[in-house]
Chain A
């Protein structure tokens, strides 16, 4: 080892502050990236659908599923990957007459912005094209909003409501198409509000 390398030494307190500062910044960035979506993202209201098996309360979170979790193969536009592999699907959401948002178009390639609609990006999933190179009848996707943590003991109410289709989720979408849950509606009335921090 050279002498310059041996002599290179950060004063301990400078090292401590730098290490703590950078690691704090990492945690802060994680928190802030979500807060930004909640603050500035486009808002969509989603119906939830019953989850099978019906009893899927795990510890302290509720498993959520949406109509947009199951994309009809008929609305998939553009090029479809020829070989199986990890893919992510872009889905255009548009509001229906009841104020609930539904998938109107989906693509493995970028979707152009269109006023009154929001494009969301699914989490990566393994895609297997059919033998004739087409998409199947439907594609199951997730968006990272499939779990909602609730205080212990309160999950059961939400489970029941979800299975009675009385549970709605208000989510906000980042320009990149990432979703975050902002509010849970029970029979149309706000039940849980997500604070920014």
Chain B
């Protein structure tokens, strides 16, 4: 536990004379007063709540068939109302965490309500439509309460929508649903910005990456892979080039826009590798990949660790691939291992040099401030 470590450290500093020994109890007392500090009473209370909640759930589940249908419906609606009202109560009493937890519970009840109503009233299930309604409910809650947690739920529900069996949908066509994924990603990004749920953004970006892979699965052809790589390259340049009009917006959103567009570019190039036929195509593609990796390092290697490591990985994989495609056939296995070793050593040397220059430049900029 952090408290034990803190106490040890404080005592150590006091013993070395770095800290007035009289301060140690005062500092520990300050830590104990913090909201997040461990409190046995609070933990026991949470456990009691879980036990009581579990008992209620078990009781309802055991008598589910006996409870009249209309009573079950009223119960579900009552649960939904109580969670949102509790969320509002806690929000106005300055307990944001409890409020957010209530909102998540409310959204789960809403989803459960949709499923139960469908089952109880024999509504033939259109799971895609149900998931979209659930997603919309989560988005609405996120906007109304300006809730980061509801925005995160919304991000996960976008995957639920994408994961339902589209071919079973009654009212929506496959093609329409395919375009729903980027639309949901835009909604999730908008919610993440609005509610300040920074990490939820990743769900939206991942959704787009999944969508691109599904698109490729639907239209498996070199053109699609090329389009993915081109789209990735354009997005990456828009996000990373200092001259780009979107650069400010992308920087505002952290490292993610550059990383995911770079990932898209690399994915497109990888898919192209599967499509490539003949040595010339392979070599041209290989050089393009190496150039892209170096461009990534050059443009955002210093500030963006995620892009940097992806670029290293792509560079290393590509050089190995190229040497296996060109030299591998001539040299035989042992010679190929030798070449691979040399390539890896070269890449390692390059990475070490780059890392050193990045940190040196960082040091310079920091010293210059």
- Is B truly associated with A? yes
Residues of A within 8 A of B174 (CB): 86
- Interface flag for A152 (CB, 8 Å): yes
**A144-B80 in contact given A19-B140, A27-B73, A195-B69 (Cβ < 8 Å):** no
Contacts of A189 in B (CB 8 A): none
B337 within 8 A of A: no
* With A12-B88, A26-B137: A124-B194 Cβ-Cβ less than 8 Å: no
State which residues 93-139 of A face B: CB under 8 Å.
123-124, 126
Please indicate which of the listed interface residues B81, B84, B99, B119 has the most CB atoms of chain A within 10 Å of its own CB.
B84
- Whether, in the assembled complex, A57 has its beta carbon less than 8 Å from a beta carbon of chain B, the answer is no
Q: How far is the CA of A141 from the CA of B194 in the complex (A)?
A: 46
- Minimum CB distance partner of B73 in chain A: A31
- Which residues of the other chain, A, contact B30 by a CB distance below 8 angstroms? none
Question: A13–B117 contact, CB under 8 A?
Answer: no
Alpha-carbon distance A16/B145, docked complex (angstroms)? 8
- Would you call B144 an interface residue if the criterion is a C-beta within 8 Å of the partner chain's C-beta atoms? yes
> How would residues 7 to 33 of chain A score, 1 for a CB under 8 Å from any chain B CB and 0 otherwise?
001101101111110111011001101
> What is the CB-to-nearest-CB distance from A15 to chain B, in angstroms, rounded to a whole number?
4
- Could you tell me the distance in whole angstroms from the C-beta of A60 to the nearest C-beta in chain B? 8
CB-defined contacts of A149 to chain B, threshold 8 Å: 119, 122
Which chain B residue has the least Cβ–Cβ distance from A38? Answer: B121
A148-B122 in contact given A22-B140, A26-B137, A197-B69 (Cβ < 8 Å):
yes
In contact, A20 and B122 (Cβ under 8 angstroms) = no
Residues A9 and B146 in contact in the complex (CB < 8 Å), given A24-B81, A30-B118, A151-B65: yes
Contacts A9-B146, A27-B73, A86-B167 given; indicate if A15 touches B88 (C-beta within 8 A).
yes
Among residues of A, the one whose C-beta sits closest to the C-beta of B116 is: A27
Q: Which residues of A contact B85 (CB under 8 A)?
A: 13, 16-17, 20
A12 touches B87 (CB 8 A): yes
Of B14-22, B106-114, B258-266, the one with at least 4 CB within 8 A of chain A? B106-114
Q: Are A10 and B145 in contact (CB under 8 A)?
A: yes
The yes or no answer to B317 lying at the interface (CB within 8 A) is no
Q: Are A12 and B121 in contact (CB under 8 A)?
A: no
Is B219 among interface residues, defined by CB-CB distance under 8 A? Answer: no
B365 at the interface (CB under 8 A from A): no
A34 sits at the interface (CB 8 A): yes
Cα A163 to Cα B68 in complex, Å, equals 30
Does B334 have its Cβ within 8 Å of any Cβ on chain A? Answer: no
A126 vs B319: C-alpha distance in the bound complex, in angstroms? 47
Assess the B91–A12 pair: CB atoms within 8 A.
yes
Residues of B within 8 Å of A12, CB to CB, are 87-89, 91-92, 99, 145
Asked whether A5 is an interface residue with its Cβ less than 8 Å from the other chain, the reply is yes
- Is B145 touching A15 in the complex (CB atoms < 8 A)? yes
Answer yes or no: B273 CB below 8 A from chain A CBs: no
Query: Which positions 54-80 of chain B face chain A at CB distance < 8 Å?
Result: 65, 69-70, 73, 76-77, 80
Q: How far is the CB of A129 from chain B (nearest CB, A)?
A: 18
When distances are taken between beta carbons in the complex, the residues of chain B under 8 Å from A180 are: 122
Contact of B167 with A126 in the complex, beta carbons under 8 Å: yes
Does A181 touch B at the CB level, under 8 Å?
yes
> Size class of A's contact patch?
35 or more
Asked if A70 is at the interface (CB within 8 A of a chain B CB), the reply is no
List A contacts of B194 (CB < 8 A): 5
B127 within 8 A of A: no
Report whether A1 and B141 are in contact in the complex, using a CB–CB cutoff of 8 Å. no
Task: Give bound CA distance, A20 to B86, whole Å.
Answer: 11
**A30 and B122 contact, CB distance less than 8 A:** no
A123→B194 CA distance, assembly (Å): 40
Q: Assess A34 versus B124: contact at CB under 8 Å? Given A15-B144, A151-B65.
A: no
Say whether, besides A16-B88, A27-B77, A144 and B124 are in contact (CB < 8 Å). Answer: yes
Chain B: minimal CB distance from A31 (Å)? 6
- Cβ–Cβ < 8 Å partners of A19 in chain B: 84, 106, 137, 140-141, 144-145
Query: Would you call A147 an interface residue if the criterion is a C-beta within 8 Å of the partner chain's C-beta atoms?
Result: yes
Q: Chain B residues with Cβ under 8 A from A31's Cβ? A: 73, 117, 121
Chain A residues in 8 Å Cβ range of B113: 23, 27
* A20 x B81 contact (CB < 8 A): yes
Residue of A nearest to B76 (CB): A27
Chain A stretch 18-63: residues in CB contact (< 8 A) with chain B: 18-20, 22-24, 26-27, 30-31, 33-34
Instruction: Please report which residues of chain B, range 104-152, place their CB below 8 angstroms from some CB of chain A when the two chains form the complex.
Output: 106, 110, 113-114, 117-119, 121-124, 133, 137, 140-141, 144-146
A residues in contact with B106, CB < 8 Å: 19-20, 23
**A residues in contact with B99, CB < 8 Å:** 12
B202 within 8 A of A: no
The smallest C-beta distance from B131 to any residue of chain A, in angstroms, reads 13
Q: Are B84 and A30 closer than 8 Å at their CB atoms?
A: no
CB distance from A124 to the nearest CB of B (A): 6
* Chain A, range 157-171, C-beta contacts under 8 Å to B: none
The 7 closest A-B pairs by CB, nearest first: A144-B124, A12-B88, A16-B88, A15-B144, A16-B84, A12-B91, A20-B84
A positions within 8 Å CB-CB of B: 1, 5, 9-10, 12-13, 15-20, 22-24, 26-27, 30-31, 33-34, 86, 123-124, 126, 144-145, 147-149, 151-152, 180-181, 194-195, 197
